[in-house]
Structure 1
Amino acid sequence: MTGQATATPTDQIPAHPPGTVRHRISAAKLNQHQLDSYREAIRQAAQFSPGDNRGFQWFAGQHGIPGNFCQHHVQSEHGRRFFLPWHRAYLYFFELALQDLVTDVTQPWWDWTYDPQNPTWIPDAFDAASIDGGAPNPLFRQPIDVRPRRPGQPGATVRAQSGPDPRVQPTQEQVDALLAEGDFFTFSLELENYHDAIHGAVGGTMANIAWAAYDPVFYAHHTMIDRLWSMWEDQHGAAGPTPDMLGEALPPWGMTVAQTLDTGTLGYSYAATSVRVPGTA
């Protein structure tokens, strides 16, 4: 498949139909149809050339190499303030791109909260190398197709950690305490710390900002981050980004911070986000 790359994805990816709200689901709770649809969307997205802004390689390249648009891990507190809005816009357009290929797909989240009674790690959907009698699982590994090739560029994604790590996974009590934090910037920075720890614990490609987004589990990880922000918004209302941030652009997405603040307007929601309900993660 081929297409014309543009500065932002909005020229080729339509907005969701007005009034349509789709529910993002835990990767551990996907039924077979939902899992098959998501795998098929990723498989098709991976067929586009790296320069085509409808494809997996293009989206992965906006986070690190070659686009380098990621708004956090920069050497200023100003940049870190946009960690949550930038990634919400990123996931929004990524999910729209998948829905352009498989209509009913939604982006699942990976709940990496540590439960000592039931320790889990990467969901099975992302952790099996093959499916359907030996076919490659598109959620397990993807090539890294940056052209021209960069020094040290891996040929494909890899992961180094194969099991749960209670040293870095927050417990439910820690997550609850984080959600109770009333200051947006404190909440964002603490959530970013958990985010960084999970990236490091997965290891391999996920531990390198240049290549992390080429691993499909990256998107499930960041959807969990977005879910926690959505839960925080439900609890704290308007106590989010300050007015001076609202008009700031989030390149290359063609959105401002203000346009990321209502997931309903963006056409998606998370089940049971206003309160913690056992069994809904």
Structure 2
Amino acid sequence: MAVSTNAIPTPQEEASAADLPTQASSDESQANDQLAQLAQFVGQTTNETLSQNEKRGGCSLWNLSVRREWSTLTKEQRKAYTDAVLCLQSKPARTPSSLAPGAKSRFDDFVATHINQTNYIHYTGTFLAWHRYFTWSYEQALRNECGYTGVQPYWDWALSGLLGLEKSPILDGSEYSLSGNGEYIVQTGDIILGGSNGLPALILPTGTGGGCVKSGPFASMKVNLGPAGLALPGGELEVNGDGLSYNPRCLRRDLTDAIIRQYSNATAIAYNILKPKDVYDFQMTMQGYPGSGNIGIHGGPHYAIGGDPGRDVNTSPGDPIFYAHHAMIDRVWWIWQLLDQKTRTGTNGIAGTGTFLDSPPSANTTLDTIIDLGYAAGPPVTMRDLMSTTDGPFCYTYL
């Protein structure tokens, strides 16, 4: 009898490195085809690498987890995932109240850790690896503490952009989604990012919601922490101290198709993979070079979700879609890494320092830099452990 593995299914005709695209197509359909071709190629690379591990133990084709896009999951699989998230929200926090009085649940532990470390995990050398470990640790909490037997799904932003956010399976508000838009409320003014540091402000439109989410699994959810830097229509910023006090309120969303279509379409994703040749350019393109007028494929979905905590860089994991979003961020990095695996998973796969845009000045991030998720999860690991999805604590890949 044949024994099945978790190898990534590949067509009979394998993708060749010589045939891979070198420049992102401006045509959305062609860019989607390019992304599929790139994913197929690096999937083959993963299969070939892991097939050599079978006699060495560790991660292999036999214990590999495969992360899939939300829309490809069955209704039962989607429901199992959201049930596990609700379970995590019902379990008591591990973070001491002296450190984060507002952390009331295990779900909040992750939010509190992100708030505490925000200035050390964005525009830093740890941005990509920290969020890889953070998302994986959340997945492990769902599995180990809430009986979830599936894998962390990812959110294909380009697909949602084509369909329209409110029509996409992940945000249609059904019981098999991650809930949908917030109730419509009148909003005055645009979202204004930056503009106070000598760089031009970036103007973003508001969306079609703005109020409390009223449908889907998270219709009754309470956001307990934050805001710590919530961008409001009209250019105001809402801050509740350090964001760690108890401040229960509804989950709000303001879905904005214009943002997802401009910043996180298939062409933008393909460009972020094909254009940068070094990790500094890759991660800066992804986050948006300051003053460029582009918030990158990372910022696009955050601000397209909008609302509270969606527009708050610090508190953003307070919206359950954060983890599907960052699984997609990780998938883009996974593809980019495996196009030059040796270089991009080693020393030359890291660039940047330990503080936001090196302010205040700090030491360069290296393979020996420690990543510690505090009370959310553990144990502390080094950057060296996080550079591959099939090494260190990890054994997963993507379709």
Name the TM tier (shorter chain): 0.7 to 0.9
Q: Is residue 23–residue 106 contact of structure 1 (8 Å, CA) maintained in 2?
A: yes
Unaligned runs of 5+ in 2: 1-56, 97-104, 178-213, 227-239, 288-295, 352-364
User: C-alpha separation between the residues in 1 aligned to 2:89 and 2:215?
Assistant: 13
1:252-267 matches, cutoff 5 A: 252=373, 253=378, 254-265=380-391, 266-267=394-395
- Aligned to 1:269, the other structure's residue is in SS state strand
Q: Deviations over 1:237-269 (max 9, x none)?
A: 133324961110112251211111121230211
Aligned-pair CA distance for 1:109: 0.8
Q: Is residue 142–residue 156 contact of structure 1 (8 Å, CA) maintained in 2?
A: yes
User: C-alpha separation between the residues in 1 aligned to 2:318 and 2:106?
Assistant: 11
Q: Which one of 295, 303, 317 corresponds to residue 200 of structure 1?
A: 303
**Do residues 248 (structure 1) and 392 (structure 2) align?**
no
The 10-residue stretch of structure 1 (28-37 or 52-61) with the greater mean CA deviation from structure 2: 52-61
**Do residues 232 (structure 1) and 324 (structure 2) align?**
no
Unaligned runs of 5+ in 1: 1-16, 74-78, 272-281
**Do residues 83 (structure 1) and 209 (structure 2) align?**
no
**Do residues 189 (structure 1) and 284 (structure 2) align?**
yes
User: C-alpha separation between the residues in 2 aligned to 1:166 and 1:236?
Assistant: 29
| Corresponding residue of 1:276 | none
State TM-score, norm by structure 2: 0.54
Q: Is residue 144–residue 154 contact of structure 1 (8 Å, CA) maintained in 2?
A: yes
| Corresponding residue of 1:92 | 136
User: C-alpha separation between the residues in 2 aligned to 1:239 and 1:158?
Assistant: 42
User: C-alpha separation between the residues in 2 aligned to 1:92 and 1:231?
Assistant: 17
Q: Is residue 114–residue 166 contact of structure 1 (8 Å, CA) maintained in 2?
A: no
Aligned-pair CA distance for 1:126: 4.1
User: C-alpha separation between the residues in 1 aligned to 2:314 and 2:248?
Assistant: 10
Q: 1:136 to 1:177 in 2, by over 3 A?
A: closer
- Aligned to 1:238, the other structure's residue is in SS state helix
| Corresponding residue of 1:159 | 253
The 10-residue stretch of structure 1 (217-226 or 185-194) with the greater mean CA deviation from structure 2: 185-194
Q: 1:89 to 1:131 in 2, by over 3 A?
A: closer
User: C-alpha separation between the residues in 1 aligned to 2:216 and 2:163?
Assistant: 24
The 10-residue stretch of structure 1 (122-131 or 196-205) with the greater mean CA deviation from structure 2: 122-131
State TM-score, norm by structure 1: 0.75
Identity %: 22
User: C-alpha separation between the residues in 2 aligned to 1:52 and 1:34?
Assistant: 30
User: C-alpha separation between the residues in 2 aligned to 1:218 and 1:140?
Assistant: 16
User: C-alpha separation between the residues in 2 aligned to 1:24 and 1:51?
Assistant: 28
| Corresponding residue of 1:268 | 396
Q: 1:24 to 1:41 in 2, by over 3 A?
A: same
1:53-92 matches, cutoff 5 A: 55-64=106-115, 67-69=116-118, 71-73=120-122, 80-92=124-136
Q: 1:171 to 1:227 in 2, by over 3 A?
A: same
Q: Is residue 144–residue 155 contact of structure 1 (8 Å, CA) maintained in 2?
A: yes
User: C-alpha separation between the residues in 1 aligned to 2:108 and 2:172?
Assistant: 20
Letter in 1 for 2:283: S
User: C-alpha separation between the residues in 2 aligned to 1:49 and 1:35?
Assistant: 24
| Corresponding residue of 1:112 | 157
- Aligned to 1:68, the other structure's residue is in SS state helix
User: C-alpha separation between the residues in 1 aligned to 2:252 and 2:174?
Assistant: 11
| Corresponding residue of 2:81 | 38
- Aligned to 1:62, the other structure's residue is in SS state helix
Q: Is residue 317–residue 323 contact of structure 2 (8 Å, CA) maintained in 1?
A: yes
The 10-residue stretch of structure 1 (191-200 or 221-230) with the greater mean CA deviation from structure 2: 191-200
Between Structure 1 and Structure 2, whose CA radius of gyration is higher? Answer: 2
The 10-residue stretch of structure 1 (219-228 or 31-40) with the greater mean CA deviation from structure 2: 31-40
- Aligned to 2:92, the other structure's residue is in SS state coil
* Relative contact order, higher structure (CA 8 A, sep 6+): 1
How many residue pairs get aligned? The number is: 244
User: C-alpha separation between the residues in 1 aligned to 2:163 and 2:171?
Assistant: 17
| Corresponding residue of 2:271 | 177
- Aligned to 2:250, the other structure's residue is in SS state coil
Q: 1:93 to 1:56 in 2, by over 3 A?
A: same
Aligned-pair CA distance for 1:104: 1.6
